[in-house]
Structure 1
């Protein structure tokens, strides 16, 4: 398909000359003697050029004003200014304002051809990058972080704010399977860095010496098998985002090297002597308590403060209430498309079974459960028999017996606390919050906060 060139010059002979020459080169050319005519053509919406070539000095509207008018019409195409020798400085100023380049009159036709080819090539590359960015944004929209519970709404609002702070280091925390990787990609693909690469690495998957080589790269001869120089992921991610998952797995020595890079944005490859720089946004994730790791001495305090500029906590599924059903229904739609099936949802009993489960594997576990159910379901709705849930090796809900609570070994303190508070609220539904809090040894405000934190609003309405 031939490229469309719009030429604007108040001297008809020049426009006709360019039209005749460029059409022989295979371009589709339209010449205008008045810039307002071009604007009207754009407003009709029938055609949009691939390149605009416009004279600087014209009646009604000069070349720069025409360029700005087209920008307001969202016609973002390469703009080439034609100018007399005495006005070259004005043309250079136009380039600072966004013009692609300028041609000095009388125009050298070969120079024009070369500029047009370069403009179209670069514009095509920009369009391709923009298309990739748009596709990724569609794949990772902020709304893709599913849920209507308060913790998830807070996560989405935080991500929206962070999209504009494209250099800020972010620490994602939360249990395994809560979607830290998804949140990191969502942040990247909705930020100004979206056109650049998203590079991720699982720090726990490599021995420390290999992890250092992967991150910082190495020079030829740096170690036995280093036969060639290699860029590290920091260099690969230059301009984009580097996501360090399970950052707590790094050794203290490598943590020190990472801290140095975060402070200066400078680094050296293994075996190298040259300082390199990289403009990279660093995102980190962990399912461990880093503050506890700092206390134990396994994680550097200074690095913790450096990466914990903003903390985004991804809540466990058991704290998300009815969001479990919302996410499960979304997964059903996904698997319907993948399998070509027509499952409509869940029976009421199946929904209750999903709500009662503690989900130690969180959304990852839920996805696996729904995928298996979709494969083996016989009817158009998933029933309790279709849902194969892992036995509760860690119960988030305690069991009350005549002589009090009994929990199997392996429960976290948080799970025990949640179950105890829930059962206390159920058993003492007629008592005041102040009395219950006093007996539990906490303040009324603390009890209220824990009720919200553990999503216990459905237990009692006070």
Structure 2
């Protein structure tokens, strides 16, 4: 770690000399100034410090004015003010303007050392967080959404339009694996909400009571195991974005509570009495038909109206034509870089195979296929034989032999579930819907939901109701 640079500003030169000597022994590169102007000039010359220790009352430029001048230059370094006129009022005013903390003269050297170390550690963490945010902002820029089709361009245009619009709820629709999470993150990092955190939760992955506490938080003693208060994701993401994936899986009771928050932008923690107001943007996603869910009284109509203010429909990979090849090339290049292997593109036969495949798992399935291809490829150019596709290899005989279901270990659990449900539907066309659900070991309602998720309408239509 490089040596930390500290600037000390005090109109008494002996103070600067003393602190330079003391802090120098502690390993800091310290320089003293008797006024703010030369310090600001050093910053303008490309030598900004990691921390400023400044007197509050100085004849030319005060400590308060120095803080403002540093902020005007875009420098967010910690500033500690020293004052012989210490009072709650001056301390609060200094910290309101951006000071990290204050020290009362005569300065206690041990107190100063501890405060400097704390300020520098927090500043280092803040810089790392900013670097991570900047990296993610680049990774999730609007330009990273690949495609030249009208559907893809409409998605990019909508994200650009929304970047400065406050508190607009967005609903992202699309089949499984179409990149709804990627679009949600792009909505966040391409907007003014990027200063806050991006949090996400899969509503289908948690039981209802746990999902409620994750979203809204709870107070100490709210339930048996609540030994301490905990903020929910709505609070954690204040000033940022909360992504609710598979919103259709949320219970009606919790839907009502979410609707109340969207209407007022405030909520209470479980077991709490205080109203908490946040500016968290909500982005929802689903691969279900919410209109059908509303008709079957499994989703609130008023909540659908509220989350459907702006809707983004993501096209399935099979409809993207040449765009699918662009996506495949980018994904393959990413895996090649990760594995340290060369990649020079696809042969014509490989391109035809990619374009002719139905891609039921969309980009997620494509990633699995290309990851395997890059692992086992013998040449830099991928050929058709390198592409082990779901229909032909991963599920041999899935729909031709009612008693046998074979699959390769490289298949994902989601791919396996999709193919097994399709296999069971195809081999039980004369059975009732309830009987098929019983064979699968799930409820009729769950089978209906999975049929919609995996777009298995053709198999269902061939069955006897």
Query: Does the 8 Å CA contact 1:88/1:104 hold for their aligned counterparts?
Result: no
Query: Does the 8 Å CA contact 2:234/2:242 hold for their aligned counterparts?
Result: no
Residue of structure 2 equivalent to 1:354: 354
Q: Find the aligned partners of 1:103 and 1:188 in 2 and give their Cα distance.
A: 39
Aligned: 1:80 with 2:80: yes
Query: Does the 8 Å CA contact 2:6/2:29 hold for their aligned counterparts?
Result: yes
Q: Find the aligned partners of 1:296 and 1:286 in 2 and give their Cα distance.
A: 17
Residue of structure 2 equivalent to 1:410: 458
Q: Find the aligned partners of 2:90 and 2:209 in 1 and give their Cα distance.
A: 56
Residue of structure 2 equivalent to 1:386: 386
Residue of structure 1 equivalent to 2:13: 12
Q: Per the alignment, do residues 20 and 227 of structure 1 end up closer, same or farther by CA in structure 2, a change over 3 Å counting?
A: closer
Moved more, 317-326 or 184-193: 184-193
Q: Per the alignment, do residues 61 and 326 of structure 1 end up closer, same or farther by CA in structure 2, a change over 3 Å counting?
A: same
CA shift digits 1:212-244 (9 cap, x unpaired): 455456789988xx5445858546745254322
CA shift digits 1:334-379 (9 cap, x unpaired): 1212333212101123223323434332212222232233334343
SS in 1 for 2:204: helix
Q: Per the alignment, do residues 217 and 92 of structure 1 end up closer, same or farther by CA in structure 2, a change over 3 Å counting?
A: closer
CA positional deviation for 1:287 = 1.2
SS in 2 for 1:291: helix
Residue of structure 2 equivalent to 1:401: none
Q: Find the aligned partners of 1:220 and 1:130 in 2 and give their Cα distance.
A: 32
Q: Find the aligned partners of 1:246 and 1:205 in 2 and give their Cα distance.
A: 9
Q: Per the alignment, do residues 329 and 35 of structure 1 end up closer, same or farther by CA in structure 2, a change over 3 Å counting?
A: same
Residue of structure 1 equivalent to 2:267: 266
Moved more, 324-333 or 192-201: 192-201
TM-score (norm 1): 0.72
SS in 2 for 1:410: helix
Residue of structure 1 equivalent to 2:445: none
- Map residues 140-151 of structure 1 onto 2, 5 A cutoff: 140-151=140-151
Residue of structure 2 equivalent to 1:277: 276
Q: Find the aligned partners of 2:113 and 2:221 in 1 and give their Cα distance.
A: 48
Q: Find the aligned partners of 2:57 and 2:372 in 1 and give their Cα distance.
A: 69
Query: Does the 8 Å CA contact 2:159/2:190 hold for their aligned counterparts?
Result: no
Q: Find the aligned partners of 2:260 and 2:161 in 1 and give their Cα distance.
A: 27
- Map residues 10-409 of structure 1 onto 2, 5 A cutoff: 10-45=11-46, 47-56=47-56, 58=58, 61-83=61-83, 85=85, 93-103=93-103, 107=107, 109=109, 112-165=112-165, 167-191=167-191, 194=194, 197-208=197-208, 211-212=211-212, 214-216=214-216, 226-228=224-226, 231=230, 233-234=232-233, 237-239=236-238, 240-264=240-264, 265-269=266-270, 272=271, 274=273, 277=276, 279=278, 280-391=280-391
Q: Find the aligned partners of 1:48 and 1:219 in 2 and give their Cα distance.
A: 44
TM-score (norm 2): 0.72
CA positional deviation for 1:136 = 3.1
Q: Find the aligned partners of 2:275 and 2:207 in 1 and give their Cα distance.
A: 24
Query: Does the 8 Å CA contact 1:216/1:268 hold for their aligned counterparts?
Result: yes
Q: Per the alignment, do residues 197 and 65 of structure 1 end up closer, same or farther by CA in structure 2, a change over 3 Å counting?
A: closer
Q: Find the aligned partners of 1:359 and 1:303 in 2 and give their Cα distance.
A: 32
- Map residues 432-451 of structure 1 onto 2, 5 A cutoff: none
CA positional deviation for 1:172 = 0.9
Query: Does the 8 Å CA contact 1:215/1:233 hold for their aligned counterparts?
Result: yes
Q: Per the alignment, do residues 71 and 220 of structure 1 end up closer, same or farther by CA in structure 2, a change over 3 Å counting?
A: closer
Q: Per the alignment, do residues 379 and 106 of structure 1 end up closer, same or farther by CA in structure 2, a change over 3 Å counting?
A: closer
Q: Find the aligned partners of 1:232 and 1:52 in 2 and give their Cα distance.
A: 34
- Superposed CA RMSD in Å reads 3.8
Q: Find the aligned partners of 2:49 and 2:222 in 1 and give their Cα distance.
A: 53
Query: Does the 8 Å CA contact 2:170/2:312 hold for their aligned counterparts?
Result: yes
Residue of structure 2 equivalent to 1:423: none
Query: Does the 8 Å CA contact 2:140/2:189 hold for their aligned counterparts?
Result: yes
Moved more, 209-218 or 336-345: 209-218
Query: Does the 8 Å CA contact 2:67/2:97 hold for their aligned counterparts?
Result: no
Moved more, 199-208 or 240-249: 199-208
SS in 2 for 1:134: helix
Q: Find the aligned partners of 2:59 and 2:254 in 1 and give their Cα distance.
A: 65
Q: Find the aligned partners of 1:143 and 1:244 in 2 and give their Cα distance.
A: 24
Q: Per the alignment, do residues 60 and 311 of structure 1 end up closer, same or farther by CA in structure 2, a change over 3 Å counting?
A: same
Q: Per the alignment, do residues 277 and 93 of structure 1 end up closer, same or farther by CA in structure 2, a change over 3 Å counting?
A: closer
